[in-house]
Structure 1
Amino acid sequence: MATTAAQPAYRRLLETGELAERARLALARLADCDLCARYCRVDRRQGIAGAVCRTGRLAVVSSHGPHHGEESCLSGWQGSGTIFFSWCNLRCLYCQNSDISWEGEGRPVAAEELAALMLDLERQGCHNINLVSPSHVVAQFLEALVLAADHGLRLPIVYNSGGYDSPQALALLDGVIDIYMPDLKYDDEAVARRLSKVPDYVAVNRAAIREMHRQVGDLVIDAKGLARRGLLVRHLVLPGGLAGTQGAMEFLARAISPQTYVNIMGQYRPCYRAHEIDDIDRRPSMAELADAVRAAQAAGLQRLDGLGARMA
């Protein structure tokens, strides 16, 4: 599914003033925060006590720069312009970036600096702005995007989340985000509670993916092989079938689209506190990885990346 390059979605909202209004509305919601599906209802303008994300008025950024290890349609030949946000609204016991997501390594950045980071990534030639773990900083991102767009930013925005996103946040992002890239981590609520300490992940995640697809549709890739707009779903294979790959793939094929672009990821390794749980204290076997790919194929999914592309 190829197309030519087009203007990023948010440029239209900038021209009408709607982008600034979205930022204003999002910042107001920080007073009784419902900008992720944790619904902490904390006044994050005043502090972080009670907030699962431990993030207050300012976003915390760990790093930014061109990333060449993303999907090829994002990394291209000049890199995906990643901005890694510190902290997270999930508590995955096997987190591979625990220094960032659990310990908050990074520094607070005001809107002006966050906008400058986006513009710097554009100057470096990156193909897109890739927001990594942005679910808890939607307001801060929108505030900065207004400034960056005013200064000429024209790169597509990739919303690279753990998939635990609230409908309130997604409504604010409608017409702003070009490429949604959520995780689909689990097909079983009990497993999600056990491994990521999160309630109702499956229900929230599926509702979020439905809404993301409603907004942007199936992934569109241009003639140069770069993603321009649409949905790209990531699914990490866990040992022992704990990710519920079969059910997850059937959901995508039947409830979203058989043309959903899915990256089946096989790089799981025991990290952080995974050694405390026997079930996840090992890598998936080759047989388990092959089973995951077969599950996607059997579900009727036709656009597979990662393991799905290599093992097809």
Structure 2
Amino acid sequence: MVSAESYRRCSLCPRACGARRLEGVAGFCGATSTLRVARSALHYWEEPPISGEAGSGAIFFTGCPLRCVFCQNHEISQEGFGLPVSTSRLAQMMLELQGQGALNINLVTPLHYAPHVREAVRLARDAGLTLPIVCNTSGYETAEVVDEMGDVIDVWLTDYKYASRELAGRLSKAPDYPEVAHRALGRMLASLRSKGGRLLGEDGSMLRGIVVRHLVLPGHADDSKAVLDRVWDLCGNEVDLSVMNQYTPNRQCREAGGALARTVTDDEYEEVLDHADDLGFERMWWQQGGTVSESFVPAFDATGVRGPELGDKG
């Protein structure tokens, strides 16, 4: 059961590190039981059904259970940037984003704070939140937490990074990633089916559904194709597929050399897209030119984090 007790000896993520987060001990994710948020603002660079023209209301959480060497959000995922906030403040952020015209509430890497998130969504709904809730996740989640959160999550925006255990271990320190992500995606699909399947609004925005994202890595097109095979076998056309070419080598990757020191070639990307077509994906998003830059990474400057608590009349 996802509750504050989950932080006592933490097993909220597949690491099951057992950290005593309630006592202030950080887990592998870098977080204690104090909720921390790095940014809350409209975000325009998700897939069209998520961002549309109005923007997605993105809330970026501090910490992450993965250790991806190529992470572009390392300030918050691995370096701890973010401000402590209450559950009530998190709920109020959701209402503020709704007031700014957001299409949805986009929770970015939130589930190592699952108890806070669940309670905040409930509080915000009670206070008038009507927007869909998007869980923007690395895919490295336990089936149990996915099941527990299924009633408050409307859209799963999930990565499926690797099919290779060796690659997952070397690049994200998570050799079990392929099995974990596959099982988690299966539970997301079961949750979606129980609610009646994919649903779009009149404006084309996603009200309910699953978008599976895959970032093509330079030198690893074969693993990308294996990932698509696994997604197709499990989900077929019940999900949207997003194949991304925006890999940008960070300083660590550039200094290490090898394939990860460069960007993805056009030929590599086309090879993966062609494979997706051959499999039969009908709803597929892809990127065209100019995507390799750091423009997709917002400024982590605590925008929108400070503010009133829910119900505070000032």
The TM-score range, normalised by the shorter chain, is 0.7 to 0.9
In the alignment, the residues of structure 2 paired with residue 242 and residue 277 of structure 1 have an alpha-carbon distance, to the nearest angstrom, of 18
In the alignment, the residues of structure 1 paired with residue 165 and residue 218 of structure 2 have an alpha-carbon distance, to the nearest angstrom, of 17
Q: Work out whether 1:121 is the aligned partner of 2:118.
A: no
Identity %: 35
Please, what is the CA RMSD of the aligned residues?
1.9
TM-score under structure 1 normalisation? 0.87
Question: How many corresponding residue pairs?
Answer: 286
Q: Which residue, out of 23, 27, 42, partners 1:46?
A: 23
Alignment of 1:179-198 (within 5 A): 179-198=155-174
In the alignment, the residues of structure 1 paired with residue 111 and residue 135 of structure 2 have an alpha-carbon distance, to the nearest angstrom, of 9
Q: Which residue, out of 231, 255, 279, partners 1:299?
A: 279
In structure 1, what is the equivalent of residue 252 of structure 2?
Answer: 273
Q: How many Å apart are 1:172 and its aligned residue?
A: 1.2
Check whether the contact 2:200–2:208 (CA below 8 A) recurs between aligned residues: yes
Check whether the contact 1:73–1:226 (CA below 8 A) recurs between aligned residues: yes
- Which amino acid in the other structure matches residue 253 of structure 1? W
Q: Work out whether 1:32 is the aligned partner of 2:12.
A: no
In the alignment, the residues of structure 2 paired with residue 163 and residue 53 of structure 1 have an alpha-carbon distance, to the nearest angstrom, of 14
In the alignment, the residues of structure 2 paired with residue 100 and residue 80 of structure 1 have an alpha-carbon distance, to the nearest angstrom, of 19
1:216-268 per-residue CA deviation (whole Å, 9 max, x = no partner) reads 14543222111010111100000011671111111111211234201100110
In the alignment, the residues of structure 1 paired with residue 229 and residue 201 of structure 2 have an alpha-carbon distance, to the nearest angstrom, of 27
In structure 1, what is the equivalent of residue 306 of structure 2?
Answer: none
Alignment of 1:114-193 (within 5 A): 114-193=90-169
Q: Which residue, out of 208, 213, 218, partners 1:234?
A: 213
Compared CA separation, residues 72 and 60, structure 1 to 2 (3 A): same
**Runs (4+) off by over 6 Å:** none
* Other structure's SS at 2:23 match: coil
- Gaps in structure 2 of 5+ consecutive residues: 289-314
In structure 1, what is the equivalent of residue 308 of structure 2?
Answer: none
In the alignment, the residues of structure 2 paired with residue 122 and residue 249 of structure 1 have an alpha-carbon distance, to the nearest angstrom, of 34
Q: How many Å apart are 1:287 and its aligned residue?
A: 0.2
Q: Work out whether 1:264 is the aligned partner of 2:240.
A: no
Check whether the contact 1:96–1:272 (CA below 8 A) recurs between aligned residues: no
Check whether the contact 1:259–1:301 (CA below 8 A) recurs between aligned residues: no
In the alignment, the residues of structure 1 paired with residue 137 and residue 4 of structure 2 have an alpha-carbon distance, to the nearest angstrom, of 20
In structure 1, what is the equivalent of residue 39 of structure 2?
Answer: 63
- Gaps in structure 1 of 5+ consecutive residues: 1-21
- Which amino acid in the other structure matches residue 261 of structure 2? D
1:100-148 per-residue CA deviation (whole Å, 9 max, x = no partner) reads 1111111111111111111110111101000011131111111222221
Q: Which sits farther off after the overlay, 289-298 or 256-265?
A: 256-265
In the alignment, the residues of structure 2 paired with residue 212 and residue 260 of structure 1 have an alpha-carbon distance, to the nearest angstrom, of 10
* Other structure's SS at 1:229 match: strand
In structure 1, what is the equivalent of residue 263 of structure 2?
Answer: 283
In the alignment, the residues of structure 1 paired with residue 206 and residue 222 of structure 2 have an alpha-carbon distance, to the nearest angstrom, of 26
In the alignment, the residues of structure 1 paired with residue 222 and residue 79 of structure 2 have an alpha-carbon distance, to the nearest angstrom, of 25
- Which amino acid in the other structure matches residue 43 of structure 1? R
